[in-house]
């Protein structure tokens, strides 16, 4: 690829964030090249797809970012579906958070934003819920999207339809800067093993849990998660159950996505473990005992990109011309819409209102000093 052919913006990473940012830039008539080492390893193909700023008990600025993204998701999904011709599996299912005691329930950070349920109310919303749960909160405003089977595929096709170019199987090795500290090129190894230098003045880092390997200043580290899916009867579970340590996310066809372990000491160790799978089975038996008899369909793992405060890194990076859209931990699917909007706006130098500018500043990488 010659300098004349190099697109205006390079997106480093072809997962959910990379595709979402590339899509928004392309919708604003920007030329974009997405460089991806192995898209199948992206967290967007692994996550359960909960849209749950309230059910997850977020607080402070992260809750505000999540709420802003949740508000934008229907319009964002409509754009993707319109550009791709494919459905994304968005469902306004609502999420139930069960508790053993009213004290635990009332101490939940977002308790005031949910509807309180007694045991009778819990049984009405979640028939067959385990007996240890006496009360709960229903967050009707939260939902889910089928990221693993639908959203990622629709985003890929939407990008292609808008002219986004892809370089798959390529690993970015280094970022080069000129004497003024401006990004000037990237050094990569192609799928064929050839090393190349691509000139660029602007790039967006969307490398998920691997972001620190390319930009060492960024405090992003992997948190491994193992998951599985069950095939239940259609309509057997209508609400998402968000229990402590385990959640059950029902798709429209009866598939139940179950997650997820949180293994902070696993690093990038691949593969399933007996302990991780046992933890998931124990959670299923506690939350919905009848589901323990439903046949398992798939088992998988992935790596959440985490930061010390579990908030993402957005906005300008430590290198002029490098923008950040990484470190979303367990809220990547929820935050994709707002991340794409904020990042595309920042890359293009678009003037933002006070709220959006404040959110971008709140999640600057410089907050870690």
Q: Are residues 196 and 318 in the same domain?
A: yes
Tracing tokens 């909007």 back to the chain, one arrives at 341
Q: Residue 179's domain is classified under what CATH number?
A: 3.50.50.60
Residues 6+ apart with CB under 8 A from 34: 10, 11, 13, 14, 18, 19, 22, 159, 164, 165, 166, 167
What is the C-alpha separation between 154 and 23, in angstroms, rounded?
11
What whole-number percentage of the chain has pLDDT above 70?
98
Assess whether 34 and 98 both reside in one domain.
no
Residue 28 shares a structural domain with residue 56: yes
Whether 2 has a pLDDT exceeding 60, the answer reads no
Domain that holds residue 20: 9-85+148-219+309-368
Same domain? 163 vs 275: no
58/50 Cα distance (integer angstroms): 13
pLDDT digits (tens, 9 = 90+) for 157-173: 999 999 999 999 999 99
- The CATH number assigned to the domain holding 98 equals 3.30.9.10
Last residue of a domain, one of 306, 338, 353: 306
In a domain, 1, yes or no: no
| Residues in CB range of 293: below 8 A, 6 or more apart | none
Are residue 196 and residue 338 in the same domain, yes or no? yes
Average pLDDT over residues 285-307: 96
Structural domain includes residue 153:
yes
Note whether residue 123 is domain-resident.
Answer: yes
Last residue of a domain, one of 280, 306, 332: 306
pTM: 0.95
Domain end marker among 282, 306, 330:
306
How does pLDDT run across 259-287, given as a tens digit for each residue?
999 999 999 999 999 999 999 999 999 99
SS3 at position 360: helix
């Amino acid at each position: 690829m010659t300098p004349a052919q190099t697109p205006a913006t390079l997106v480093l990473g072809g997962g959910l964030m990379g595709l979402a940012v590339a899509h928004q830039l392309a919708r604003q008539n920007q030329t974009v090249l997405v460089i991806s080492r192995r898209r199948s390893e992206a967290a967007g193909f692994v996550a359960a797809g909960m849209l749950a700023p309230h059910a997850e008990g977020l607080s402070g600025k992260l809750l505000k970012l999540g709420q802003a993204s949740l508000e934008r998701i229907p319009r964002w999904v409509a754009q993707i579906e319109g550009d791709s011709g494919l459905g994304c599996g968005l469902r306004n299912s609502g999420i139930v958070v069960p508790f053993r005691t009213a004290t635990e329930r009332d101490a939940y950070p977002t308790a005031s934003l949910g509807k309180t349920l007694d045991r009778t109310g819990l049984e009405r919303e979640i028939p067959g819920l385990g007996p240890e749960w006496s009360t709960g909160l229903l967050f009707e405003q939260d939902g889910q999207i089928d990221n693993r089977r639908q959203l990622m595929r629709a985003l890929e096709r939407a990008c292609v339809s808008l002219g986004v170019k892809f370089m798959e199987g390529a690993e970015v090795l280094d970022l080069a800067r000129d004497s003024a500290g401006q990004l000037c090129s990237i050094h990569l190894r192609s799928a064929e093993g050839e090393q190349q230098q691509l000139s660029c003045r602007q790039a967006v880092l969307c490398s998920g849990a691997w972001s620190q390997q390319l930009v060492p200043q960024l405090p992003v580290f992997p948190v491994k998660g193992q998951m599985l899916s069950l095939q239940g009867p259609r309509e057997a579970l209508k609400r998402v159950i968000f229990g402590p340590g385990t959640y059950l996310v029902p798709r429209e066809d009866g598939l139940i996505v179950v997650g997820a372990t949180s293994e902070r000491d696993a690093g990038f160790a691949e593969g399933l473990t007996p302990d991780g799978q046992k933890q998931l089975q124990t959670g299923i038996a506690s939350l919905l005992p009848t589901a323990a008899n439903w046949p398992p369909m798939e088992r998988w793992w992935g790596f959440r990109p985490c930061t010390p405060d579990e908030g993402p890194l957005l906005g300008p990076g430590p290198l002029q011309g490098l923008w950040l859209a990484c470190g979303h931990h367990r809220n990547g699917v929820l935050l994709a819409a707002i991340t794409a909007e904020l990042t595309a706006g920042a890359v293009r130098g678009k003037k933002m209102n006070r709220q959006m500018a404040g959110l971008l500043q709140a999640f600057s990488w410089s907050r870690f000093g």
